[in-house]
Amino acid sequence: MLVTKSRAVFYLALAAALWSLAGILIKLVQWNPVAIAGARSAISALVIWAYLRKPKFTWKSDQILAALFYAGTVLLFVSANKFTTAANAILLQYGSPVYVAIFGSLILKEKAKISDWITIGLVIFGMFLFFVDKLGPSNLMGNVMGVLSGISFAFLIIFLRKQKDSSPIESTLLGNILTALIGLPFMFTGAPDAVSWIGIVLLGVFQLGLSYIFYSTAIKYVNALEAVLISVIEPILNPIWVFLAIGEKPTMWAFIGGAVILSSVTLRYALPAMKNKALRSGI
């Protein structure tokens, strides 16, 4: 199937929207956090394997490294949420655009433009505003895990992007299998109830499985920085689902921060697309 740049951007946005369901769905699950991560990854692995039917495991370094960083991202983020506030965890993870801009230029030779750095600055500023009333020192261990989760997410994107001429989705399949194996011992700490199992299934099928199918498809047609910047809509959508589900209203700062993030990312990618379309039309 031919995937255009516009469709790739849509797939990235769709993946981020599915990721954003994590907060509200995890609230349904009463279980050990690492067990949750392992169980949802096990289900996600089945979804991705069913989609691929015959996965191509090359066992090359890029495929293995992406799988390792995938597992690291998922496990560190879940752990960060346990040891610090959810706001701290997600804000620290989304320092990843900076890491991608720095390491992506070294590993992928995809240099960031001035417009990219401006967008990164606005995104970080918007994230700060978004969570300004929720941030706190919390636990040092959790904050460190949040930072490490962002670094791991950055390298996941970079090594998925390095497989642009092959099939990067196998790395997410391997990453899910690894995460499931790591989470397996924690699953024996207790048994989730029926409602929790519904949450786990939804997390595995939609929040991880389908999302990474879209993400792995799209990353072949965009650069690494685009892949991470577009995904920052995830933390904006998260409180929207919470508001719709339980009526918890975002604060004024959250609205302002969200507007800064959405407008900066939209302008960064919408304006060039409109310009190219105008040139092709001879306007």
In tens, the pLDDT along 70-114 reads 999 988 887 777 776 666 677 677 778 888 888 888 888 887 788
Task: State the burial class of residue 106 (Cβ atoms within 10 Å of its Cβ: 0-12, 13-18, 19+).
Answer: exposed
8-state DSSP, 221: S
For the chain, how many structural domains are there in total?
1
280 class by beta-carbon count within 10 Å (0-12 exposed, 13-18 middle, 19+ buried): exposed
Query: Residue 171's pLDDT is what?
Result: 96
Q: Check pLDDT > 90 for residue 121.
A: no
Residue ranges making up the domain that contains 148: 5-281
**pLDDT band at residue 157, thresholds of 50, 70 and 90?**
very high
Surface-to-core class of residue 248, CB atoms within 10 Å of its CB (0-12 exposed, 13-18 middle, 19+ buried): exposed
For residue 23, what pLDDT is reported?
A: 73
* Burial of residue 249, with CB atoms counted within 10 A of its CB: 0-12 exposed, 13-18 middle, 19 or more buried: exposed
Summarize pLDDT for 30-43 with one digit per residue, the tens: 888 889 999 999 99
- pTM reported for the whole predicted model: 0.82
Burial class (CB in 10 A: 0-12, 13-18, 19+), 53: exposed
Cα 208 to its chain centre, rounded Å, is 9
Cα–Cα distance between 256 and 238 in angstroms, integer? 15
For a pLDDT cut of 90, what percent of the chain falls above it? 38
How far is Cα 77 from Cα 33, in angstroms, rounded to an integer?
A: 10
Among 78, 88, 103, 236, which Cα is nearest to 159's? Answer: 103
